[in-house]
Amino acid sequence: MADERERVLVDFRTEPAKYRHWRLAVDGPVATLTLDVKEDAGLRPGYELKLNSYDLGVDIELHDAVQRLRFEHPEVGAVVMTSGKERIFCAGANIRMLSQSEHGWKVNFCKFTNETRNAIEDATAESKQAYLTAVNGPCVGGGYELALATGWIVMADDANTAVSLPEVPLLAVLPGTGGLTRLVDKRRVRRDRADFFCTTEEGVKGQRAVEWGLVDEVVPRSRLDEVVRHRAREFAARTDRPAGGRGVALTSLARTLEGDEVRYRWVLCRVDRGRGVAEITVRGPAVPPPADLAALHELGCVFWPLALARELDDLILHLRTNEPEIGIWVFTTAGRADLVEAYDRVLAAHPDDWLVREIRLYLRRTLKRLDVSSRSIFALVEPGSCFAGTLLELVLAADRAYMLDGVRQGDERPPATMRLTEMNFGPYPMVNGLTRLASRFLAEPGRVDKLRTRIGEHLDAAGAAEAGLVTFTPDDIDWDDEVRIALEERTAFSPDALTGMEASLRFCGPETLESKIFARLSAWQNWIFQRPNAVGPKGALVVYGTGQRSEFDRRRI
């Protein structure tokens, strides 16, 4: 049974030796990621990945490559993305794949590609590993969105090469990977020009693409490689990454699937299909952190915060893609809060060390992935838990948190407490640019400063409630019933309504490029993907490539 399920599950774990669509090469301070999609190697049967188009499998490899470049190659300061095909850069997301996929698959696919593009931007801005794109052929739809995620775009100046976002005129959907937002928010393309660009199939090429801000420079095809190499060396020279640093190998992530259990070293998930609940337990570290940075670097990927980030990230992706009917994720922790706090002190004390910086950024991205997942998130704080600092972020990310006031009869462990650390006050912002504490207390910004004075304090149920860190604090008599009723009520609600409600409530405050993509674009695309103009019998996504014309309901909704 487990073997049969394993064969049909999407596995996000991969490594360069297993890549079928990307080639990764490193030459001193510059790495090159070459997209050369194998047409007959789609993740699912029924379509061919022609014209360097991509599906989820292609993007899983890209996600892995971005992570490995950050951790395994500290010497790399610039990454060039280009195509291995002679006359095409990338045709974007594969249309046949989209047209035959169920709605949820399409939406999750767009979400994951968005997160991967955000990781590229994060690498450029925070890891000082700048990404640039060499466009050596038509760069269409999601292909251009991939280029938009990089910090510099160089395009061949010839009759064949153009950039385009033709989703509206061709497919009756939106560019699903942040293209609209990056045009006007990131590249600051004028609205009227962006309007024309997004409603023409042909795209824009040559000097006009530079003048409009769609690319950064165009050069004759004969000079494209030369110019890109020069630009990459320029960007690499600006990095603060250690040229002589030794990378940390991201070894194969150990995971066991047995029945309804997903087990890692530090994370355990039990799926209760009857209730539609995933019970996720995160275990705190077993030993104190290493005494110095040299020892930390020696530990590499078994260093607890890095191991935790990798395992939790993989679990989130696994549940999101392979368990769509499990709508509630309940987080608990087990371990010693003082050890979690000790590891947080190491992360807080060495923000300029390249490896510590990458670990902090990985944890930040993983927590963001949790935030944007369309699942109800509950946290249960009980005796034996270790919700401190980095792990306390799970409570702050939850839609609702319950903390047991006191202990259960017969339990000799002390009552549960939680602790704030320096890591709760900046290193892990949400997609709205605010910390989870700042988002929580949007009406009381001064409260966050007051909470900073309580770093390291053992907050029991009364103290956590007074600090505003938990929702309810039932005692032993009421605990089981209150938690049970809360979960039963949640499963009785419409999953669609909950997704819309949760996304609206989680990202209060200012809008950013990321929050627009996940809160605004995702909501619109979710709706448009279900409309007959896109996916009906004569919808544009369905009849694309058949020679038939789309038939639209002309009413504006």
Q: What is the pLDDT of residues 436-478, one digit of tens each?
A: 999 999 999 899 999 999 999 999 999 999 999 999 999 999 9
Q: Output DSSP code: residue 245.
A: P
Judge residue 392's burial from the number of C-beta atoms within 10 Å of its C-beta, 0-12 exposed, 13-18 middle, 19 or more buried: buried
Whether 506 has a pLDDT exceeding 60, the answer reads: yes
Q: What is the pLDDT of residues 197-250, one digit of tens each?
A: 999 999 999 999 999 999 999 999 999 999 999 999 999 999 999 999 999 999
Average pLDDT (498-517) is: 91
Query: For 103-107, 126-130, 385-389, which range has the lowest pLDDT when averaged over its residues?
Result: 103-107
Q: What is the pLDDT of residues 278-305, one digit of tens each?
A: 999 999 999 999 999 999 999 999 999 9
Query: What pLDDT, on a 0 to 100 scale, did the predictor assign at position 5?
Result: 36
**What CATH number does the domain located at 256-506 have?**
3.90.226.10
Give the rounded percent of residues in the chain with a pLDDT score beyond 70: 99
Question: For residues 86 and 399, which has the higher predicted lDDT (pLDDT)?
Answer: 399
Q: What is the pLDDT of residues 251-264, one digit of tens each?
A: 999 999 999 999 99
Average pLDDT (549-557) is: 86
Q: Which among 506, 368, 514, 343 is positioned nearest to 423, based on CA atoms?
A: 343
Q: What is the pLDDT of residues 6-16, one digit of tens each?
A: 446 999 999 99
Distance CA 283, CA 451 (A): 25
Whether 170 has a pLDDT exceeding 70, the answer reads: yes
Whether 21 has a pLDDT exceeding 80, the answer reads: yes
Query: What pLDDT, on a 0 to 100 scale, did the predictor assign at position 3?
Result: 37
Close Cβ partners of 444 (under 8 Å, ≥ 6 residues apart): none
Same CATH topology for 8-236 and 256-506: the answer is yes
Mean pLDDT of the chain: 95
Tell the CATH topology of 8-236: 2-enoyl-CoA Hydratase; Chain A, domain 1 (3.90.226)
Query: What pLDDT, on a 0 to 100 scale, did the predictor assign at position 556?
Result: 82
Degrees, nearest 5: CA angle 518-519-521: 70
Cα–Cα distance list, 109 to 41, 66, 136, 543 (Å): 17, 18, 26, 21
Q: Parse the chain into domains and list their residue ranges.
A: 8-236, 256-506
